[in-house]
Amino acid sequence: MSTLEIDYDAYRIETMWQWSDPSSTPSPHYTARIAKTSINRRGNILTAYLTPKGSASEPTPVILKMAYGMEHITSLEREARMYENELRHLQGTVVPIYYGLYHGQTESRYQSGLREKVACMVLEYCSSTDGMHPVDLGRNIVACTLSLHQAGIVHNDLLNTRNIVQSADGGVRFLDFATASRRHLCPTSVCKHGGGCQEIALVERQYGGPTPQVPGYHGRW
């Protein structure tokens, strides 16, 4: 078992738990110091600085993706299983690094004095940069989509550019697998007459070629 201690401020600290498989290496105990709350419209994404408990190492910027209530917790658990399985070898290159899924209870958002179940997925914070040429960015997106499909995952929302960020290492990261599909057997080719993979066809049409539909692109520099 490992723990995640979330420090919201000096007056509010929540502790959550992760139960590891007995055959796996236990995760360290972490402290996450909240930097900013509610960075999205739903209010369930927070930024924080993560450090192993008792460590003097530099804090790691992370995202805390919260889920409240059994329906949302079940959805987050499904997303976490993708990071733990199909997406494991793509962490840090195509998708963010995954630090674990934790469960606990927190103050009710609706009634004072009550507690409610909550789950928290901890992911690498991928800050967006704008240094890549749009044509190269488009090619990167197509290549990462192929890698994703070879792992058996269809994202299902890659035309939403909020789910794609340029990373500091010159690559891209795909975010938010809440609506992704598993066990995909991809032909990894696109045919002119309707064959091949639908998501790859859509991604190539949107981001591939000499005029990719990426933010800020108005022709070659």
Is the pLDDT confidence value at 44 over 80?
A: yes
Q: What is the pTM of this model?
A: 0.86
Residue partners of 99: CB distance under 8 A and separation at least 6:
27, 30, 50, 62, 122, 123, 124
Nearest one of 189, 174, 187 to 87, comparing CA atoms:
174
Question: Which stretches does DSSP call E strand in 19-163?
Answer: 30-36, 45-52, 60-68, 98-107, 115-124
Find the DSSP H helices in 85-210: 134-150, 198-207
User: What is the mean predicted confidence (pLDDT) over 76-83?
Assistant: 97
Q: What is the pLDDT of residue 197?
A: 85
Is the pLDDT confidence value at 219 over 50?
A: no
Query: What is the overall mean pLDDT for the chain?
Result: 85
* Per-domain boundaries in the chain: 2-124, 134-207
Tens-place pLDDT, residues 162-204: 899 988 888 899 999 999 999 988 876 554 555 678 898 899 8
Tens-place pLDDT, residues 107-150: 777 777 788 899 999 999 987 766 778 888 889 999 999 999 99
Is the pLDDT confidence value at 62 over 60?
A: yes
Tens-place pLDDT, residues 1-13: 899 999 988 788 8
Find the DSSP H helices in 29-109: 70-84
Question: What backbone phi and psi angles, to 5 degrees, belong to 117?
Answer: -70, 145
Architecture in CATH for domain 2-124 = 2-Layer Sandwich (3.30)
> pLDDT-based confidence at 154, cuts 50/70/90?
very high
Q: What is the pLDDT of residue 84?
A: 95
- DSSP conformational letter for 196: B
3-state SS class at 60: strand
CATH number of 134-207: 1.10.510.10
Is the pLDDT confidence value at 29 over 70?
A: yes
CA distances for 78 relative to 2, 31, 188, 197, angstroms: 20, 24, 25, 23
Q: What is the pLDDT of residue 178?
A: 94
**Residue 155, by phi and psi: left (phi above 0), alpha (psi -120 to 50) or beta?**
alpha
Lowest mean pLDDT segment, chosen from 49-53, 192-196, 208-212: 192-196
> What is the C-alpha separation between 218 and 206, in angstroms, rounded?
14
